Amino acid sequence: MIGALAANNQWRGTPSGLGGLGRMASRLAGLTGWRRFGVLMLLGALATLSLPPLGWLVVLLPSLSGLVWVLEGAATRRSAFAVGWWWAWAWYAIGFYWIGNAMLVDPERFAWMIPFATLGLGAVQAVFIGVATLVTHLTRSTGIFRIVVLAGAWTFMEWVRSWFLSGFPWNPLGSVWDAVPSVLQLASLVGVFGLCGFTILVFALPAVLADFITVTQRRVALGLVAVLLVGGAAFGTLRLAAHPTEMVPGIRLRLVQAAIAQRHMWRDDLRQSQLLDHVELTRGPGYDKVTHVVWPETAAPFFLNLDVQARALVASVVPPGGVILAGAPRVTPQGVEPFGLWNSLMAIDAAGQVLGTYDKAHLVPFGEYVPLRGVLPIAKLTAGGTDFSAGPGPRTLDIPTLPPVGPFICYEAVFPGAVAEHGNRPQWLLTLTNDAWFGKSAGPHQHLAAGRMRAVEEGLPLVRSANSGISAIIDPLGRELYRLGLNERGVLDGELPKPVAATVYGRWGNIVPISLSIVLLLLGVFGGLLRSVRD
């Protein structure tokens, strides 16, 4: 369409600046071969600057508008798929660069996997966005309706990406709104997947200005963007003002961040000292004011359910009347069948009793288990040759002296709608993680943003305890109240926020963004048909 308009010189006579926009759109639509793929990769790479920790959202305007213009020039289904795939490959491959740090913990064994873990994983994830641009092309919608279709298709495919082949929903497009607390509140309605569609509408709608000739049509396009941005920000601002942070009386948490280097973890000669590190930090200044203690993922490198001596050491620093919530591996006793090994959270009281347990459900492929182990001759990244077993999924733990808690461990933070038990809503969320795998990179910041998104989606406060950081206490609207930074060693003391009423997304989960995606698809398709009939 753009190319045809340019060929017929219909950009002439457009207002100052708009003709230049049309010529730019025409050039991008007319790209072929390596130039097209190169530009798409540059646009996708540019978009990664909007991710945490930078949050430069303005780069999405040229990136997503440029994507739409290149898509306009796609003449075949294959080329339409390729447009989305090349853009998304750069977006994911660069956005996932930090995964390579995990392979450098033991470089002699795993460094060869870095290209597969970054470029290869990015290539697989890009397929979903390629399908979204293909669907947009197939509908033959134009103008605003083309953007609406793309928003619906993108939203739907982000949801598919969260469960297909066990799922890997890291860095969905909507996660960029972590940088704007007011707009982030929309996640309480439509979740992060709904924010993906919102992002497309806001930053890609200006692309259709190149299609418009009349002042009225330009105003409609810009007006829609303004309504979305102003409306989203106004909703969030009112929500933030209506829900000041309130604290649960009588609870003061201590989060312990020992900042143990990943290469030292699970060394037999250091296991005892690592446990003592957590004990000594727990006993540090201010301990007499603490009611409950939280240790991060695998803070205790012992099977605490079986090792009575190690559990007694943990119990020695339990505050009076409180508990320690500690990350530790759990294993079935010797001779018990079937054998199981879990990455777990355990609640331990001053008597050394285990009052509650949560087992990680979403395991990291190649990190905690090897898919197709009988076929792939690959060792998992974590210590030992045994795959971890998966737990049953979200559950609410009732632990004496604490409000009911919804725990999840590390990687599980990136799964929307899968951190709180439906029908038995917790009063707060707790995540234990060990981001030492990823070093000083964007990974821990993106991981923190995912946890914040879960808090806003569910309307529940989040307590995040990380071995190397970033540890934080976040209220149910995503406001960070306490923080201990990346690679800082120490403790973080703070009060526990109260939850707010269950959100729309918290009640209905991913039904909301799926329904939104279908509405957008239907609106785009039928709106485009009506426009073509009218024309």
Question: How high is the pLDDT of residue 13?
Answer: 36
CA–CA dist 293, 309 (Å, integer): 19
Candidates 68, 80, 57, 27; CA nearest to 205 is: 68
Is 64 part of a structural domain of the chain? Answer: yes
Is 21 part of a structural domain of the chain? Answer: yes
Is 130 part of a structural domain of the chain? Answer: yes
Q: Which member of 360, 412, 457, 458 is catalytic? A: 360
Q: Which two tokens stand for residue 278?
A: 């957590």
Q: Count CA within 13 A, CB hemisphere, residue 347.
A: 20
Q: pLDDT tens, position by position, for the chain (535 residues)?
A: 443 433 333 333 344 345 678 888 999 999 999 999 999 999 999 999 999 999 999 999 999 999 999 999 999 999 999 999 999 999 999 999 999 988 888 888 888 889 988 999 999 999 999 999 999 999 999 888 999 999 999 999 999 999 999 999 999 999 999 999 999 999 999 999 999 999 999 999 999 888 765 677 677 788 999 999 999 999 999 999 999 999 999 999 999 999 998 888 878 888 899 999 999 999 999 999 999 999 999 998 889 999 999 999 999 999 999 999 999 999 998 778 788 999 999 999 999 999 999 999 999 988 888 887 777 778 777 777 788 999 999 999 999 999 999 999 999 999 999 999 999 999 999 999 999 999 999 999 999 999 999 999 999 999 999 999 999 999 999 999 999 999 999 999 999 999 999 999 999 999 999 999 999 999 999 887 776 666 5
CA–CA dist 501, 312 (Å, integer): 39
297 is known as an active-site residue:
yes
360 is known as an active-site residue:
yes
CA–CA dist 515, 519 (Å, integer): 6
Tally of residues, the chain: 535
Distances in Å between the alpha carbon of 250 and those of 77, 322, 400, 402, 496? Answer: 61, 11, 13, 10, 9
Q: Are residues 267 and 126 in the same domain?
A: no
Q: Which two tokens stand for residue 307?
A: 């090792």
Question: How high is the pLDDT of residue 347?
Answer: 98
Q: Are residues 451 and 492 in the same domain?
A: yes
Q: Are residues 376 and 472 in the same domain?
A: yes
Q: Are residues 284 and 356 in the same domain?
A: yes
Q: Which two tokens stand for residue 240?
A: 């933030």
Where are the extended beta strands (E) located within 334-394? 341-348, 354-359
Q: Are residues 216 and 362 in the same domain?
A: no
What one-character-per-residue DSSP string does 403-433 give? Answer: --EEEEEGGGGG-TT-SS-TTS--SEEEEEE
Is 504 part of a structural domain of the chain? Answer: no
Q: Are residues 201 and 343 in the same domain?
A: no
Q: Are residues 195 and 294 in the same domain?
A: no
Is 182 part of a structural domain of the chain? Answer: yes
Please, what sign has the CA dihedral across residues 221, 152, 411, 394?
positive
Q: Which member of 410, 457, 458, 498 is catalytic? A: 410
Distances in Å between the alpha carbon of 356 and those of 73, 95, 255, 341, 405? Answer: 58, 36, 19, 17, 11
Q: Are residues 212 and 163 in the same domain?
A: yes
Q: Are residues 219 and 265 in the same domain?
A: no
Distances in Å between the alpha carbon of 133 and those of 30, 92, 344? Answer: 17, 16, 40
Domain span including residue 69: 2-242+510-534
Is 82 part of a structural domain of the chain? Answer: yes
Domain count, the chain: 2
Question: How high is the pLDDT of residue 208?
Answer: 86
Q: Which two tokens stand for residue 108?
A: 């002699």
Q: Which member of 72, 158, 297, 458 is catalytic? A: 297
Question: How high is the pLDDT of residue 2?
Answer: 42
Q: Are residues 323 and 400 in the same domain?
A: yes
Q: Are residues 180 and 228 in the same domain?
A: yes
72 is known as an active-site residue:
no
Helix (H, G, I), strand (E, B) or coil at 295: coil
Question: How high is the pLDDT of residue 534?
Answer: 64
CA–CA dist 504, 130 (Å, integer): 30
Looking up residue 383, the CATH number of its domain turns out to be: 3.60.110.10
Contact 79, 29 (CB under 8 A): no
Is 273 part of a structural domain of the chain? Answer: yes
Is 471 part of a structural domain of the chain? Answer: yes
Q: Are residues 209 and 129 in the same domain?
A: yes
pTM, whole model, 2 decimals?
0.93
